A and B are shown apart, each in its own frame.
Chain A
Amino acid sequence: MEPITQKTNVNNPLPTVSPKQRKRKNLFTSYGFVAPAIILLFVFLILPAILALYFSFTNYYLLTPEQTKFVAFENYKRLAEDSLFLKSLGNTAIFVVIVVPVQTLVALALALLVNQKLMGIKFFRMAFFAPVVTSMVIVSILWTFIYNPDNGLANSILNIVGLGPFQFLTDKDQAMYSIIFMSIWQGAGYQMMIFLAGLQDIPDHQYEAASIDGANAWQKLIHITIPGIRNILAFIAIVTMIAATKLFIQPFVMTQGGPLDSTKTLVYMVYETGFKFRDVGYSSAIAILFFVIVLIISILQRRFIKENTE
């Protein structure tokens, strides 16, 4: 194939088109290429966001859209007094504050482990990555069984070590931490893979040079490995943070936000208010506030990381 195309290019060059025409044609082509993405983004992301902003100022009830009225800041006033909103915000915060650093560290540790050149290491890479490619709903259902206080696997294992029994998902003080543990187990493999790619980019001769200078393993980690993957670390911190704030599937499947609202997160509250209670107006107000919070954190995080990586 290749020689033929080359030949036709040689025989039939492009000068028949004037530079102006070509520029216009290029413009058309480039817009043509981005059009599907732009249209899809607009229809499924930007338009709903604008609509949500509008709905948050109305009393839109899901089943009676024709009776929708403008209520100004009514929904936001209610939000300010809603203790459940504060609780959900707090629950989401706990999840993010624990998951982001712990999951990143666990992923890094796993990546360092599977980065060694050993027999059968590929098996471990796959094993650690397997939960990531499993559907979150399935993982959640599975862990509901593992966490069963009476006959679950978790208590059986802890029992051997002489701990427990724990109530896990049926205890308001343990439910969130149970979800956190399971989420880290499920998600860490993904970051591990990205770390692994970064680790393999660090040239071997740096480690060799360090060895000759007499550096130990810890010094190599601090002075070569960590600086070598600094940009990846920043990327992972941001991505994990954004993913963590969107916590929904786990409480939806495992606890329905309970017991006693201890696993109710902001996104769960948006779903519950909007769909179960059909109160789209109020639900939109929560979503908008959620968006503002995530936006602020992202901006702060970016600024912080930029200062540190440059």
Chain B
Amino acid sequence: MKKGILLLFCLIFAFSMAGCSNDKQGASGSEKGGEVQLKMWAHQGQPKEVDFYKKRIDEFNKEHKGKINVKLDIIPSGTGHAYEDKINAAATSNGLPDVLDMDGPFVGNYAATGILSPIDDYVEKSDKQDFAKSIIQQGTYDGKLYALGAMESSIVVFYNKKLLKEAGIQAPETLDKAWTWDQFMEASKKLTKGDVRGLTMHMDLGVGEWLTYMGSVFVWSNDGLLLNKDRTKAEGYLNGPESVEALNYVKGLFKSKVVSVSNGPADFEEGKAAMMIGGVWLIPGFEDYKNLDWGMTYFPYSKKKVSPSGSWAFGVSSQSQHPKEAAEVVKWMSNKDSVVEISKITGMPPARESAFKEIKEYDKLPKKVIKDQVLNTAKARPATPAYPVLSAKFAEAFQAAALGQDVKPELDKAAKDTDRELQRFKK
């Protein structure tokens, strides 16, 4: 009995010591019989997207047998910041994988803090040119390329064909005829009847990246900016008159009750909302709703036609001991085959222009809307190391506007906090 307890202590000790040691072998790339072993993390997106990652990595391993072997871990991301939290924790404890998947706007922060290695040396120029401009924009920080993605993304206005027909509304079918803010407001008002709201903006997703992703478009479209051109100042931009006016428009939408802060997650699909400002990643999910006859139109504009851009992208961690092989994985995941395939599977727009040519459905409605936006009006969120603060504070201001608060003081607060954060990275 005594011996048993002693043994147990020894075991606990041994394990706790192992936990404390800096296990470099486990943290990042090692070699086994000449085959480079790599680790990769991807966030848990839509189920079909996850399946694609797994399948593509299997194919990579088959193709590079004896040279490179990648072990893929799918990390749950939740609605909050669980995936980012995991990266942060791993970065400080030397536990980052060789290849990691990250949301586009975070590239700036990770690059500035040295989590990522640049991949310019491994990517050919001609190959770079094939990517949509916004994808290169989001993967570049300080003139160096850090990340490449397979998917683009966009936000459009989905509409319920039946409800629009009943209200006698025709949604725009070409980019020239896209709704202005006023027309959009009018349509939403007309469509709000009884239990049905004109619009849902997915406020159920919480005060997270979504609100910034969608909300920043209103600011840009009104000729405003989140940060100045060199991305060193928020004061006067984030809280500038154009931004205030943009959020006041959003406030107006909520005030006139065409959209609610307490919408359910599937209001549009269930016919409780006639239109939805939603991400194109929702399209595959529509299949589950047989009664839904949906269409798609352009993001409404004020002074400029702008649409959101940016999606998850792959990069090489600076802790990797095999950056060259890791870059191979990044390139594989964003090569033309991957891009075409993921686009077909997930319904996300491809990240390469050449891929658009290959997928015919983007030539006609409804998907033409996405292509028009990605190739003509897409704008990436600012690549800045202060992005985590900027995004959270802007999202809070957007929510405040939706709740009917005074917009200006909320944006002033956001600008002040963002400027303080930018100060930290000034050298």
Residues of A at under 8 Å CB distance from B? 32, 35-36, 39, 43, 59, 61-65, 148-151, 167, 170-172, 252, 256-261, 272, 275-278
Contact = CB atoms under 8 A, between A and B. Distances in A.
Contact of A170 (B80, B114, B261, B400): B261
A278 B388 contact: yes
B400 A260 contact: yes
B421 interface: yes
B12 A167 contact: no
A276 B388 CA distance: 7
Nearest to B19: A43
Contact of A63 (B113, B262, B264): B113
B9 A35 contact: yes
Interface string B199-211: 0000000111000
B208 A63 contact: no
B92 A63 contact: yes
19 contacts: A35-B9, A36-B12, A43-B16, A63-B115, A148-B264, A150-B263, A150-B264, A171-B403, A256-B80, A259-B261, A259-B400, A260-B396, A260-B399, A260-B400, A275-B81, A276-B84, A276-B392, A277-B421, A278-B88
Contacts of B109: 63
B163 to A, nearest CB: 18
A34 B283 CA distance: 59
Contacts of B389: 277
A43 B15 CA distance: 14
Contact of A151 (B85, B92, B207, B264): B264
Given A151-B264, A170-B261, A62 B88 contact: yes
Given A256-B208, A259-B403, A150 B260 contact: yes
Given A61-B113, A277-B388, A259 B88 contact: no
Interface residues of B, number: 33
Interface of B: 9, 12, 16, 80-81, 84-85, 88, 91-92, 109-110, 113-115, 206-208, 260-264, 388-389, 392, 396, 399-400, 403, 405, 421, 424
B264 to A, nearest CB: 7
B421 A256 contact: no
The 4 closest A-B pairs by CB, nearest first: A63-B113, A149-B262, A256-B207, A170-B261
B403 A260 contact: yes
Contacts of A257: 207
Contacts of A39: 16
Contacts of A256: 80, 206-208
Contacts of A36: 9, 12
Contact of B405 (A62, A260, A275, A276): A260
Contact of B81 (A32, A43, A261, A276): A276
Given A35-B9, A276-B84, 8 more contacts: A63-B91, A64-B114, A148-B262, A150-B264, A151-B264, A170-B261, A256-B207, A276-B388
A65 B92 contact: yes
Nearest to A271: B85
A59 B400 contact: no
B388 A61 contact: no
A276 B392 CA distance: 9
Nearest to A59: B424
A127 to B, nearest CB: 29
B424 A258 contact: no
Given A39-B16, A277-B389, A63 B110 contact: yes
A270 to B, nearest CB: 14
Nearest to B400: A260
A172 B421 CA distance: 27
Contacts of A62: 88, 91-92
B262 A150 contact: yes
Contacts of B208: 256
